[in-house]
Amino acid sequence: MGLTLAQKIIKNHLVSGEMKVGEEIALRIDQTLTQDATGTMAYLEFEAIGIPRVRTKLSVAYIDHNTLQSGFENADDHRYIQSVAKKFGLRFSRPGNGICHQVHLERFGVPGMTLIGSDSHTPTAGGIGMLAFGAGGLDVAVAMGGGEYYITMPKMFKVNLTGKLQPWVSAKDVSLEILRILSVKGGVGAIIEWGGEGLKTLSVPERATITNMGTELGATTSIFPSDEITREFLKAQGREKDYTPLSSDPDAVYDRIIDINLSELKPLLACPHSPDNIKSAEELSGIKVDQVCIGSCTNSSLRDMLRVASMLKGKKIDDSVSLSVSPGSKQVLSMLADCGALSDILASGARVLECACGPCIGMGFSPNSAGVSLRTFNRNFEGRSGTKDAQVYLVSPEVAVASALTGYITDPRTLGEYSEIVMPDAFKLDDSAVVMPADEEEAKSLEILRGPNIKPFPTTYPLENSIEAKLTLKVGDNITTDHIMPAGAKILPYRSNIPYLSKFCFAVCDESFAERALENKSTIIVGGSNYGQGSSREHAALVPLYLGVKAVVAKSFARIHAANLVNAGILPLTFKNPDDYEKCTQGDTLSLENVFEGMEKGEITLNVNGEKIPLVCSYTKRQIDILKAGGLLAYTKGE
């Protein structure tokens, strides 16, 4: 029996465990990346581990999230990260150089290598044939120190592509179509491999759009083969030497096969407030639009920007619409300027923003109250834009521009003639905004620069065999990490200050939660299905840890968040009978008895008002040891 592409890369990087679905495996990691919203904490954790130099083939620290410097906090964090990178052997991508996933695809991604990043959209690199995972900062810190990355061996899904995208239909529509088919939970526990004859019609940037949004499926990661199209992309980036052909075996076996005919797709939108709430542009045509945002790690490549410029050339956006355009990297921005496309964008009335995540992470450009905002981003969770009552739709660049021009949701197929985009044979190469690390000898004398906003990692304690705690919060299905630990310009600057950040924990759901949790000292949270979907931000586990959360009991968990809870020393537990969720009421006093024995057996009893409710867990021996130690940091340090 042959191997899938992902199985081949896993086999080549397997350190321990068996490649059997559901078994824990440990992988050797070639590359890591961080961004500044999660990076500060990741490097504090790396420092705490006590290793003097990163041990990966390549590690890059990007500044792309917290770039709005309205106070000293973000600038201090950037300075801290740069000093850490210089001392410990990482490359440092300066603010303005671009979004981590776009820059990594352009300059550092290598087919067949493994990559983990402290950002859930790290699987973007699957567009170039990398096996790339989003992970919590502590997992990234361990990998930088030469440690393995542990995951549960996933199932293998294959999406067979046939046909060719029709005019005005793009890779974003492929992403939205697979979300329509699978939902935000449909990829949990699986790696999604893309194949079929239709591959030959998709460029690397288009493939990266698709792998980027595989994260919204809950998938472990997504990956495309490395073929002649990959080689041409790397050649244009001056990196042809990094090319390796990679594909699955003809007789590889998949757990599920999905067929998508590219020729049959039409322009789609994800409606508020979930990436899988899919409707066609045809159906939604005529809805008034207030704001349009183009960019993010999903749709900010040169290809996307040239499409936007061609549609805007010689035209003006509607007077009632505010349009922002954020190129994904300095390379993209400079090439737009050189060819004149930037002038076409500016002349339309668009506002060109910095090469950064910006509005996607709620860092500026929030919509007006109750505004309708069309965004080429990957998430439209409630409040994520910075405006709580905004109605955010996810769209392709084509739908975005068409709607900005008319002032209403518009099917771009109504615009008439469609011109093909001609990509250059070579990209403009300028890595001057990537600062190289000091050599090992010089590094010994370098100082780490810390600002007053940087606070220590939260105190952890070994797990106790019995836990009594108040049910201080009960929430429903599809609670995201944006619900647990919101982003945005007002909050992100405090990512390295857990005590201050804790004030905002679950504020979207219940503004009094943080105060109540601190009063109770020991807390259990109850949630519904797919608890913790969304980003890899470990703050959604570290802040609850600081607030005294001992366990989260839910109907089901998103992969990365469950791992982050374990890393923080918090028990993720699942209802054996999902209907028992109804028996738990906020304010109840709950207890867990014989926790150690229960973890070994895979079943722990929850006592609720005298009634015993069975909870299930499937921790590995290593995870049990981590939980008993009080988290991954204490476990790694041997405390």
Q: What is the pLDDT of residues 1-44, one digit of tens each?
A: 899 999 999 999 999 999 999 999 999 999 999 999 999 999 99
* 3-state helix, strand and coil shares in percent for the chain, rounded to the nearest 5: 35, 20, 45
What pLDDT band is residue 91 in, cutting at 50, 70 and 90? very high
Structural domains of the chain ordered from first start: 5-264 (3.30.499.10), 268-415 (3.30.499.10), 467-633 (3.20.19.10)
* N residues, the chain: 639
Cα separation, 3 vs 624, whole angstroms? 31
Among 41-45, 70-74, 527-531, the least confident range: 70-74
Q: What's the one-letter identity of residue 88?
A: F
CA 128 – CA 226 distance, rounded (Å): 6
Nearest to 410 by CA among 309, 304, 317: 317
Q: 531 pairs with which residues across the strands?
A: 557
Q: Is the predicted pLDDT of residue 639 greater than 60, yes or no?
A: no
Give whole-number Cα distances, 602 to 261, 427, 543, 619, 624, in Å. 43, 53, 26, 7, 11
463 neighbors 628 (Cβ within 8 angstroms): yes
**Tokens describing residue 540:** 């959604």
Q: In the numeric block, which tokens belong to residue 53?
A: 């130099």
Average confidence score pLDDT of the chain: 95
- What average pLDDT does range 548-553 have in this prediction? 97
Q: Which of 44, 8, 67, 7 is nearest to 144 (CA)?
A: 44
Cα separation of 206 and 200, whole Å?
11
Question: Residue range 366-370: average pLDDT?
Answer: 95
Q: What is the pLDDT of residue 272?
A: 97
Q: What is the pLDDT of residue 492?
A: 84
Average pLDDT over residues 381-399: 94
Look at residue 456 in the predicted model and tell me its pLDDT. Answer: 80
Q: Is the pTM here over 0.75, yes or no? A: yes
- Print burial letters for 360-369: b (CB count within 10 Å at least 16), e (below 16): bbbbbbbbee
Cβ atoms of 374 and 408 closer than 8 Å:
no
- Distances 508 to 211, 355, 533 between C-alpha atoms, Å: 29, 28, 15
Mean pLDDT of 62-90: 94
Q: Answer yes or no: is pLDDT of 627 > 60.
A: yes
pLDDT, position 70: 85
Pairs from 513-516 (Cβ < 8 Å, separation ≥ 24) = 513/472, 513/473, 514/547, 516/472, 516/473
* pLDDT interval class at 587 (50, 70, 90): very high
Weakest-pLDDT range from 157-166, 409-418, 442-451, 531-540: 531-540
Tokens 């780490």 appear where?
A: 448
pLDDT at 405: 98
Mean pLDDT across 193-222? 97
Q: Which backbone phi and psi does 526 adopt, to 5 degrees?
A: -115, 130
pLDDT band at 493 (very low <50, low <70, confident <90, very high): confident
Residue 522 has pLDDT above 70, yes or no: yes
Q: Are 462 and 516 in contact (CB under 8 A)?
A: no
DSSP string of 298-332?
TS-SHHHHHHHHHHHTT----TT-EEEE--SBHHH
Pairing of strands 611-616, 603-608: antiparallel
Q: What is the pLDDT of residue 282?
A: 96
* 92 pLDDT above the threshold of 60: yes
Confidence check: pLDDT of 362 > 70: yes
Residues 6+ apart with CB under 8 A from 575: 553, 554, 555, 581, 613, 615, 616
What mean pLDDT comes out for the span 422-435? Answer: 96
The whole-number average pLDDT for the span 64-72 is 89
* pLDDT 10s digits, 123-182: 999 999 999 999 999 999 999 999 999 999 999 999 999 999 999 999 999 999 999 999
Mean pLDDT of 198-222: 97
Residue 104, pLDDT > 90, answer yes
Count the Cβ atoms, other than its own, within 10 Å of residue 23: 11
High-pLDDT (> 70) share of the chain, % = 100
Residue 637: pLDDT above 90?
A: no
Q: What's the whole-number mean pLDDT along residues 259-274?
A: 98
Percent of the chain with pLDDT over 90: 90
Binned at pLDDT 50, 70 and 90, residue 483 comes out as very high
Mean pLDDT over 607-623 rounds to 94
How far is C-alpha 470 from the geometric centre of its chain's CA atoms? 32
